């Protein structure tokens, strides 16, 4: 069983965005699986790079929708995106500096992000975007 199972509770009911969020859940599960096997050192570089690439594509997708439809909560939302980018940057620096505990730090941070950002901020734009897309 995966560390985090995708379920409808994560869905914002917009297929392209759900697909990207699923990818984040997969990344979390990949990191967790490697940690359980004591092999996180083998995948950490790849995971951090995937996170950086993911962030670029995914935040752009959401923010494009915000500007396209004039989402009123865009500013607060984008502040959290920028904080995420800074945090991933700092994990990257810690990794390069060979600090210990980077895997656990990333796992905790991403698990928390699912709850704090996706289940709150992201889900909040669902009805607004869907109404505008229709
Ligand atoms: Fe998101
Ligand atoms: Fe978001």
Residue 45 maps to a domain: yes
Q: Give distance in angstroms: CA of 95 to centre of ligand 2.
A: 25
Q: Give distance in angstroms: CA of 124 to centre of ligand 2.
A: 10
Mean predicted confidence (pLDDT) in 59-72? 98
Q: Give distance in angstroms: CA of 68 to centre of ligand 1.
A: 16
Residue 39 maps to a domain: yes
Residue 2 maps to a domain: no
CATH of the domain at 117: 1.20.120.50
- This prediction has a pTM of 0.95
Number of domains in the chain: 1
Structural domain including 66 reads 14-133
User: Which alpha helices (H) appear in 1-134, and where do they start and end?
Assistant: 15-36, 40-69, 74-96, 102-113, 123-133
Q: Give distance in angstroms: CA of 34 to centre of ligand 2.
A: 26
Mean predicted confidence (pLDDT) in 55-82? 98
Q: What pLDDT shows up at residue 134?
A: 78
Mean predicted confidence (pLDDT) in 30-43? 96
Q: What pLDDT shows up at residue 15?
A: 96
Does residue 1 have a pLDDT over 90?
Answer: no
Does residue 104 have a pLDDT over 90?
Answer: yes
Closest listed ligand to the CA of 21: 1
């Amino acid at each position: 069983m995966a560390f985090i199972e995708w379920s409808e509770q994560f869905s914002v009911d917009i297929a392209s965005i759900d697909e990207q969020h699923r990818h984040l859940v997969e990344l979390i599960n990949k990191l967790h699986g490697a940690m359980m096997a004591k092999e996180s050192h083998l995948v950490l570089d790849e995971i951090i790079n995937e996170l950086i690439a993911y962030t670029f594509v995914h935040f752009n997708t959401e923010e494009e929708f915000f500007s396209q439809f004039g989402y009123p909560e865009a500013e607060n939302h984008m502040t959290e995106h920028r904080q995420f980018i800074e945090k991933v940057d700092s994990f990257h620096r810690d990794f390069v500096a060979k600090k210990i505990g980077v895997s656990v730090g990333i796992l905790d941070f991403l698990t928390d992000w699912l709850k704090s950002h996706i289940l709150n901020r992201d889900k909040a734009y669902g009805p607004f975007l869907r109404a505008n897309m229709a």
